[in-house]
């Protein structure tokens, strides 16, 4: 009987991210008395360098150098675990240098690397630590999501701050995905990503398999999505249903953590692809003034390829600046050209610059 009950409490296996990339890498090791040992060590070196290339798809070289000790302890020293397969495509002893050299072609598990970089807090920092606001119509599930994202290193805008920015009825509009309400929350609270959704937790008495015994089974359903707050663009969606006996608290944690893991993975993937997109939120600018500011940015800010008008909400104009340079360089250039642009920078965080019209 107990064996049957234990089986019921086990969560469904989480799908592992199987994303991978093929790379080539060279490794070398000192030639000693044994060529075989030197070859083995050279392959290990090549595998580590292959994994370093995989890490490099997510973080820049400065971040890699700054965090090298942590990366070595957690990832590089376990390189073989991040490689799905490899083949040696060339090898030779280099007697002049006293080394054995190998070249390999390896399939690196970048999905696993991404997950571990998030868990280590490195990738969220590389993303600029975008601020999240979580609005779900079930308090317990909302807390579970908050706990997960905080553990990943995401800064959070608390729910009372979000509710203070909303009028009666707007919370439901936000959960339903209303773009204008999302922009309002972004402008007034500084949230860059919204986690919004609905949940349902229920219980019923059910007969267990292979027995006449009845137990209370708890079921949690959760449908949430991650939305870029200033544009309303949907980043990721998760829809889950889980059931467990004995504990409502456990089923809530299970479904909340599972959904948060899905959303986090997609947020990281998409956010790292838009490192050079900056949002400029300007208070007190008229429509005519916004047109002039857009033109002035294109003319005076080096590296800017596009400036998009994302609308106006609650007296705040939202511009999306696409640049070939990084956000810090754009911020520095905007500060240097405040008078020409007709704005004054009042604050900045990650990929968001706040300003007021002059």
Nearest to 127 by CA among 155, 103, 148: 155
- Cα–Cα distance measured from residue 127 to residue 149, given in angstroms and rounded to the nearest whole number: 14
- Cα–Cα distance measured from residue 88 to residue 107, given in angstroms and rounded to the nearest whole number: 12
**Residue 229 sits in the same domain as residue 268:** yes
| β pairing state of 304-313 and 316-323 | antiparallel
Res. 289: pLDDT tops 90: yes
**Residue 35 sits in the same domain as residue 94:** yes
**Residue 238 sits in the same domain as residue 311:** no
**Token pair in block for residue 103:** 């070249």
Residues ≥6 apart with Cβ < 8 Å to 346:
283, 354, 355, 356
**1 falls in which pLDDT band (50, 70, 90)?**
very low
Q: Is residue 11 part of a domain?
A: no
Among 2-16, 144-158, 292-306, 314-328, the range scoring the smallest mean pLDDT is: 2-16
Last residue of a domain, one of 73, 100, 123: 123
**303 falls in which pLDDT band (50, 70, 90)?**
confident
Among 121-125, 146-150, 271-275, the range scoring the smallest mean pLDDT is: 271-275
Res. 16: pLDDT tops 60: no
| β pairing state of 304-313 and 156-157 | unpaired
The answer to whether the beta carbons of residues 315 and 290 sit under 8 Å apart is: no
**172 falls in which pLDDT band (50, 70, 90)?**
very high
For 68-85, write each residue's pLDDT tens digit.
999 999 999 999 999 999
**5 falls in which pLDDT band (50, 70, 90)?**
very low
Q: What pLDDT is attached to residue 14?
A: 46
User: Rounded to two decimals, what is the model's pTM?
Assistant: 0.73
**Residue 103 sits in the same domain as residue 168:** no
Res. 47: pLDDT tops 80: yes
For 178-216, write each residue's pLDDT tens digit.
999 999 999 999 899 999 999 999 999 887 777 777 888
- Cα–Cα distance measured from residue 210 to residue 275, given in angstroms and rounded to the nearest whole number: 55
Query: What mean pLDDT, rounded, does the chain reach?
Result: 88
- Cα–Cα distance measured from residue 156 to residue 149, given in angstroms and rounded to the nearest whole number: 8
- Cα–Cα distance measured from residue 21 to residue 37, given in angstroms and rounded to the nearest whole number: 28
User: SS3 of 201, please?
Assistant: strand
**9 falls in which pLDDT band (50, 70, 90)?**
very low
Q: DSSP string of 58-113?
A: TS-HHHHHHTHHHHHHHTGGGGGGGEEEEEEEEEEEETTTTEEEEEEEEEE-HHHH
**Residue 113 sits in the same domain as residue 240:** no
- CATH number of 333's domain: 3.30.70
Q: What number of helices (H) and strands (E) belong to the chain?
A: 14, 13
**Residue 65 sits in the same domain as residue 163:** no
**6 falls in which pLDDT band (50, 70, 90)?**
very low
- CATH number of 193's domain: 3.40.50.10610
Please state the rounded mean pLDDT for residues 234-245. Answer: 93
Please state the rounded mean pLDDT for residues 81-102. Answer: 94
The answer to whether the beta carbons of residues 88 and 111 sit under 8 Å apart is: no
Please state the rounded mean pLDDT for residues 263-274. Answer: 81
In terms of residue numbers, what domain contains 166? 127-272
Q: Is residue 132 part of a domain?
A: yes
Res. 93: pLDDT tops 70: yes
The answer to whether the beta carbons of residues 355 and 280 sit under 8 Å apart is: yes
**275 falls in which pLDDT band (50, 70, 90)?**
low
Q: Is residue 13 part of a domain?
A: no
**3 falls in which pLDDT band (50, 70, 90)?**
very low
Last residue of a domain, one of 257, 272, 287: 272
Res. 149: pLDDT tops 50: yes
**Token pair in block for residue 48:** 């580590």
Last residue of a domain, one of 244, 272, 300: 272
**Residue 239 sits in the same domain as residue 291:** no
Cβ burial of 107 (10 Å; 0-12, 13-18, 19+) is middle
Buried b (16+ CB within 10 A) or exposed e, 217-241: bbbbbbbbbbbbbbbbeebbebebe
Q: Is residue 349 part of a domain?
A: yes
Q: Is residue 5 part of a domain?
A: no
Q: Is residue 110 part of a domain?
A: yes
**Residue 215 sits in the same domain as residue 118:** no
Nearest to 317 by CA among 267, 349, 356, 347: 356
**Residue 257 sits in the same domain as residue 135:** yes
């Amino acid at each position: 009987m107990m064996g049957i009950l234990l089986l019921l409490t086990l969560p469904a296996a989480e799908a592992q991210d199987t994303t991978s990339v093929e790379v080539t890498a060279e490794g070398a090791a000192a030639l000693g008395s044994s060529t075989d040992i030197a070859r083995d060590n050279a392959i290990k070196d090549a595998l580590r360098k292959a994994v370093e290339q995989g890490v490099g798809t997510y973080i820049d070289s400065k971040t890699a150098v700054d965090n090298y000790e942590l990366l070595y302890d957690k990832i590089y020293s376990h390189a073989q675990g991040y490689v799905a397969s490899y083949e040696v495509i060339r090898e030779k002893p280099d007697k002049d240098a006293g080394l054995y050299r190998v070249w390999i072609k390896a399939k690196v598990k970048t999905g696993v690397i991404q997950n571990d970089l998030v868990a280590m807090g490195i990738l969220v920092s590389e993303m600029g630590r975008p601020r999240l606001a979580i609005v779900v119509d079930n308090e317990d599930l909302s807390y579970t999501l908050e706990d997960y994202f905080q553990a990943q290193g995401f800064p959070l805008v608390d729910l009372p701050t979000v509710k203070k920015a909303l009028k009666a009825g707007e919370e439901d509009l936000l959960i339903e995905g209303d773009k204008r309400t999302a922009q309002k929350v972004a402008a007034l609270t500084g949230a860059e990503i919204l986690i919004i959704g609905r949940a349902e937790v229920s219980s019923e008495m059910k007969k267990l398999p292979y027995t006449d015994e009845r137990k209370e089974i708890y079921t949690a359903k959760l449908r949430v999505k991650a939305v870029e707050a200033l544009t309303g663009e949907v980043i990721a969606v998760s829809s889950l249903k889980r059931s467990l006996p004995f504990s409502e608290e456990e089923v809530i944690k299970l479904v909340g953590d599972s959904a948060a893991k899905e959303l986090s993975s997609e947020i990281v993937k998409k956010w790292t692809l838009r490192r050079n997109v900056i949002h400029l939120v300007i208070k007190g600018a008229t429509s005519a003034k916004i047109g002039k500011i857009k033109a002035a940015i294109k003319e005076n800010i080096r590296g800017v390829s596009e400036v998009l008008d994302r609308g106006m909400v609650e007296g705040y104009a939202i511009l999306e600046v696409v640049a070939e340079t990084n956000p810090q360089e754009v911020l520095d250039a905007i500060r240097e050209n405040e008078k020409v642009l007709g704005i004054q920078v009042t604050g900045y965080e990650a990929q968001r610059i706040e300003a007021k019209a002059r």
